[in-house]
């Protein structure tokens, strides 16, 4: 049985420490514990950083937002014997990466693969943030063509699968969506698939990676889009499919493989939003009909019928119960 504590999200912020201790504590946490690298902030007095990490099996994930800094995995740190790879995806600001006598500048959205077995330096000149997706060499070497040649090769933000990868990996780090060991292992496989495709999957690995990782990432992106825009009364499978760059039929099949339909998922998101509004004192002044229209329903009787089927009570009953 897998210990759930291993998968807990760890958050570190310099704001939790006195100003004079922030750099030292960040070096201890980020440098010695997480990234195994040294750091030289551009300005100790104004330095600030937040690091969020979660260690999944064969997939440590990290997001860091920090002030201008130089991060160095020097030869002294190479003695730890780590030979895994990290795909660094820059989210904000600009990063200059140095390794193998080469330099690559990452714009927002660009990515680069680095090796823990090589001395590497990252220079961040302004405040910004980036994801780090770490994968053991043994897990990645059989999936990628010329894996070592992929190191220090800038991956532009225009790469279609790069956006899918970050969109899928982000919730794994920031949200508690992996509730069972089976889901954890499946998510790790999906991320490995997506990283392999971004770097250049082998002919043998590519078909399975497309079926598993890409499908899962697209479904995840579709659900996130629907959850965010479910209040839009004209939201449709066609508009969501267009946003993802797939056909409506392909998107419908993704939901069907997940045991649902697009319409059922959209309806559930609207009902969930209505329920949250009905039990929140913030929305006491809104009539039930106004809440129904605000969450995306165009027909009040249809809303009342669906709500009662979903919650076994009328919207008014739910509101009165919450008030009591």
Band of pLDDT at residue 36, cut at 50, 70 and 90: confident
Least confident piece of the model among 22-36, 160-174, 249-263, 289-303:
22-36
3-state secondary structure (DSSP) of residue 300:
helix
The model's pLDDT over 215-241, given as tens digits with 9 standing for 90+, comes to 999 999 999 999 999 999 999 999 999
The CATH number assigned to the domain holding 53 equals 2.60.120.10
The model's pLDDT over 102-117, given as tens digits with 9 standing for 90+, comes to 999 999 999 999 998 8
- Residues 220, 241, single domain; the answer is no
Compute the distance between CA of residue 10 and CA of residue 139 in angstroms, rounded to an integer: 24
Per the structure block, which two tokens stand in for 262?
A: 């697009």
The model's pLDDT over 233-279, given as tens digits with 9 standing for 90+, comes to 999 999 999 999 999 999 999 999 999 999 999 999 999 999 999 99
Q: Is the pLDDT of residue 160 over 60?
A: yes
What strands, in cross-sheet order, belong to the sheet with 120-124?
38-41, 69-73, 120-124, 95-99, 102-106
CA angle 111, 116, 122 (to 5 degrees): 50
What's the domain count of the chain? Answer: 2
| pLDDT at residue 47 in the model | 86
Q: What is the DSSP letter of 205?
A: T
- Containing domain of residue 321, as a range? 230-324
- Residues 213, 320, single domain; the answer is no
Alpha helix ranges (H) inside 200-287: 206-209, 215-229, 237-244, 248-257, 262-278
The CATH number assigned to the domain holding 261 equals 1.10.10.60
- Residues 29, 142, single domain; the answer is yes
Rounded to an integer, the average pLDDT of 210-218 is 93
Q: What is the DSSP letter of 37?
A: -
- Domain end among 203, 229, 255: 229
Q: Is the pLDDT of residue 31 over 80?
A: no
Least confident piece of the model among 26-35, 156-165, 228-237, 294-303:
26-35
Q: Is the pLDDT of residue 2 over 70?
A: no
| pLDDT at residue 291 in the model | 96
Compute the distance between CA of residue 96 and CA of residue 208 in angstroms, rounded to an integer: 34
- Residues 104, 133, single domain; the answer is yes
Max CA pair span of the chain: 69
- Residues 84, 219, single domain; the answer is yes
Rounded to an integer, the average pLDDT of 180-207 is 93
Q: Is the pLDDT of residue 304 over 60?
A: yes
- Residues 136, 237, single domain; the answer is no
- Residues 223, 234, single domain; the answer is no
- Domain end among 229, 258, 290: 229
Rounded to an integer, the average pLDDT of 152-159 is 93
Contact indicator for 271, 230 with CB cutoff of 8 Å: no
Q: Is the pLDDT of residue 206 over 50?
A: yes
| pLDDT at residue 253 in the model | 95
What strands, in cross-sheet order, belong to the sheet with 49-56?
10-13, 49-56, 59-66, 128-135, 85-92, 111-115
The string of DSSP codes covering 106-166 is E-TT-EEEEETTS-EEEEE-SSEEEEEEEE-HHHHTTTBTTGGGGBT--B-TT-HHHHHHH
- Residues 204, 122, single domain; the answer is yes
Compute the distance between CA of residue 278 and CA of residue 288 in angstroms, rounded to an integer: 8
| pLDDT at residue 4 in the model | 46
Among residues 9, 48, 285, the alpha carbon closest in space to that of 294 is found at 285
| pLDDT at residue 42 in the model | 83
The model's pLDDT over 58-95, given as tens digits with 9 standing for 90+, comes to 999 999 898 998 988 888 788 777 889 999 999 999 99
- Residues 256, 208, single domain; the answer is no
- Residues 243, 224, single domain; the answer is no
Contact indicator for 181, 1 with CB cutoff of 8 Å: yes
Q: What is the mean pLDDT of the chain?
A: 90
Rounded to an integer, the average pLDDT of 163-172 is 92
- Residues 281, 158, single domain; the answer is no
- Domain end among 200, 229, 258: 229
- Residues 9, 147, single domain; the answer is yes
**Which of the two residues, 82 and 191, has the higher pLDDT score?**
191
The proportion of the chain whose per-residue pLDDT surpasses 90, expressed as a percent, equals 67
Compute the distance between CA of residue 162 and CA of residue 55 in angstroms, rounded to an integer: 21
């Amino acid at each position: 049985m897998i210990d759930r504590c291993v998968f807990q999200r760890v958050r570190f912020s310099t704001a939790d420490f006195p100003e004079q201790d922030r750099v030292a504590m960040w070096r201890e946490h980020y440098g010695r514990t997480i990234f195994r690298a040294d750091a030289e902030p551009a300005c100790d007095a104004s330095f600030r950083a937040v690091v969020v990490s979660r260690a999944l099996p064969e997939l440590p994930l990290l997001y860091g937002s920090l002030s201008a800094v130089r991060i160095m995995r020097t030869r002294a740190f190479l003695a730890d014997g780590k030979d895994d790879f990290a795909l660094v995806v820059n989210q904000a600001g600009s990063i200059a990466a140095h390794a193998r006598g080469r330099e690559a500048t990452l714009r927002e959205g660009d990515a680069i693969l680095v090796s823990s077995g090589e001395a590497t330096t990252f220079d961040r000149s302004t405040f910004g943030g980036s994801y780090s997706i770490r994968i053991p060499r043994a897990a990645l070497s059989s999936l990628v063509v010329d894996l070592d040649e992929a190191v220090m090769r800038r991956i532009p933000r225009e790469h279609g699968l790069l956006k899918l990868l970050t969109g899928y990996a982000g919730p794994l780090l920031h949200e508690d969506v992996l509730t069972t060991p089976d889901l954890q292992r499946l998510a790790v496989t999906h991320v490995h698939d997506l990283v392999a495709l971004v770097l250049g999957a082998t002919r043998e690995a590519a078909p399975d990676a497309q079926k598993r990782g890409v499908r899962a990432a697209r479904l995840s992106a579709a659900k996130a889009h629907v959850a965010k825009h479910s209040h839009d009364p004209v939201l449709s499978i066609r508009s969501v499919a267009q946003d993802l760059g797939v056909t409506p039929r392909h998107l419908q099949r993704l939901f069907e493989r997940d045991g649902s339909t697009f319409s059922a998922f959209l309806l559930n998101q609207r009902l969930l939003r209505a329920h949250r509004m009905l039990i929140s004192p913030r929305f006491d002044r809104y009539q039930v009909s106004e809440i129904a229209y605000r969450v995306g329903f165009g027909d009040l009787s249809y809303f009342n019928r669906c709500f009662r089927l979903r919650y076994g009570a009328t919207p008014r009953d739910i509101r009165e119960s919450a008030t009591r």
